[in-house]
Amino acid sequence: MSGPRRRLWAIVVAAALPLPLALWVLAHRRLAADPDLARLLAWAGFLGLLWTLAVGARLDRELVGRARRLAEILATLPAARRRRDRVPAPAAFPLLSDLVAAVHRLVDHLDEVERRAAAAREEATRGLARERSRLAAVIRDLADGLFGCTLDGRIVLYNEAAVRLLGAPPELGLGHSLYALLMRRPILHQLREIERRRARGEGTVGEDFLCAGRDGERLFRCRLALVVEEDGTTQGFVLLLREAGAALAEGSTRDFLDRLETAWRGPLASLRAAAEVLEGELADHPGLHGFARGIVGDAEALEAILHRLADTGRTYVLARWPLQDVRLADVLEAVRDRLAERGVGVSLRDRAPDVWLAADSFVLTELLVSLCTEIDRRRPGAAVEVFARAGEEGVALEIGWDEAEGQAAAWVRAWLEGSLFARPRVEVDELFARHGARPVLMPGTTGGVVLAFTLPPPRALHARRGRTALPPRPEFYDFDIAPRTRPPTADRPLGELACVVFDLETTGLDPERDEIVQIAAVRVLGRRVLRGELFDTLVDPGRPIPPASTRFHGITDEMVRGKPPPAVALQRFHAFCGDRVLVAHNAAFDMAFLRRHEAEAGVRFDQPVLDTLLLAAALDERAEDLALDGLAARLGIDIQGRHTAPGDALATAEILVALLDLLAARGIRTLGEALEACRRMARIRRRTVTPAAGDAGDGRETAP
């Protein structure tokens, strides 16, 4: 007997059995006094028992049996819905008929939900197809070749320019390996370098680098970027490439510099020596002596011109060869990794400060790996020390190891004249020359030998320590952007606005006397926070930053030294904003600082301004905690980088997006309605809220 049936019979017995039992007990007591009544009571008890069994059987058949039948019918519901059949109701039991009617209503509701979901899926599919076709058109028409690859180099995307550049080789195809088309080592080196930069919060896009085709006959100028998912995992990479040029691929830099510097060196030296001898011989002939002196002067002038031409040639070559700013510590870390992969046992000691230089990172790494490998071949387990010194002319590097100069001179010369790569064949000293470097072997100051050379200085300034970057979430395309970026009007729906959400950090809370020390902003398009479009600049306030303010935002006088003044920072911020709607939390405070510098900066912030504090107050006028922290907590928003302008701007942007549906439910759906709500709440709060002190840049209450 099943569980429902047992429970049913237990209920029937518990409800109906006490009556027959009571009748039998009463009959037994009346048997002696009134036998006829006793027999009547006994028969009544017996009939009551039969009635109990009959009712139980009826309920068992009608309720349990038909309920089981209904369960079987409901089990076939998915198939019935596909056939649009109605669910049949078991007959002769009204309770189950009502239940089936409820099921019918539920099925009808599910059908309606399914129709809406199908329509939404169809519209989303059409939209996705449109965006895919537009993106495909953009990729197809790119002048540069493009490859999208998995981390192991399998091609998942390429365009027609890549086919043209590579000449449609048979190895090119979806699912094929990129390394059947291009050299593997430069690409893997760049992947490692970008991962190192990403770990420091410096982005996921690399610098230009050169990579040879698989045949070694052609060079391509490439750039690589990682494809990173929202959870931070790396799914693959995108590679852009273009032809590096025949002159860059085939021309010999060393020969070019040799022609400039040595072709005339011999004749000039002979001419100068002859002129000096002639000058001595003609000392007794004043007229001829002056003529000889003129020849010596001309020879010296020609020699100076030659040196200038050589320097110009080096500048020309360096401009054509893609050098990037690299951190020497990163290069040495890559060298250690490559030596470990090769099983080279030298000990590489780093005595270099945290310096940056301009170099082809892959080539410089391979040069140092090759040099250390040669040292290890002759002196296994030797200690190699790297010294670096940054100067105005560049970064002087010294690679030192323990070996006699006479022993090292021969093999170092052979190494410099040898080839670093088999394909394309490029000699070591030519690679140094392409960096504007001339390696010289000299005795070490404390023994051993040193290979010294100077590499170009970095093209940009690089801080030794930077603030932790907020995780970017780039939004770099939107093909439907045009209708949403027109100048805003009062009837524009809030969900279609193009906004700039910003935040300031200041020296204090008085807009009349204090100054800006940081401006940060992020663009919002519709309901999307474009985290990749972030504006962030420190500002030199022209005065000391009070320690009380520094405790909140962490900005010191040292950090703002040399940064743009407020007027220049506002010009850049105004260009970032364009005509988009401005949004801030307690916007009146921030706008007071901006408007104070408008005349000096030559700009006007005359676009509409929304205040997330006042919008939140419009939703609940009795709310007490409308500070950024409290509002974010109620909306389930995690603030990353609190009390920094970028962190607070991003949090305010997320709050704005979260408020849109809540505002719509209150009838605030357009820009005009939102502005009116802000004005209304500003009037109310001006009467009821007492201005309170807070930290510099947030938590302040100022009348709009």
* Residues with catalytic function: 643
In eight-state DSSP terms, residue 179 is G
The residues near 92 (Cβ < 8 Å, ≥ 6 apart) are 62
One-letter-per-residue 3-state SS of 572-627: HHHHHHCCCEEEECCHHHHHHHHHHCHHHHCCCCCCCEEEHHHHHHHHCCCCCCCC
The CA distance from 302 to 240, in Å, is: 45
Token digits for 503? 């935040």
Token digits for 55? 């009712």
Phi/psi region, residue 25 (left: phi>0; alpha: psi -120 to 50; beta: rest), is: alpha
Residue 88 Cα distances to 69, 70, 71, 104, 632, angstroms = 10, 8, 11, 10, 52
Query: Which uninterrupted H or E stretch holds 68?
Result: helix 66-75
The total of other beta-carbon atoms located within 10 Å of residue 162's CB is 22
Q: Is the dihedral of CA 586, 592, 597, 603 positive or negative?
A: positive
**CA 203 from centroid of its chain's CA atoms:** 6
Token digits for 607? 């676009």
Beta strand pairing call for 419-421 and 426-427? antiparallel
Length of the chain in terms of residues written: 704
DSSP one-letter string for 311-324? HHHHHHHHHHS--E
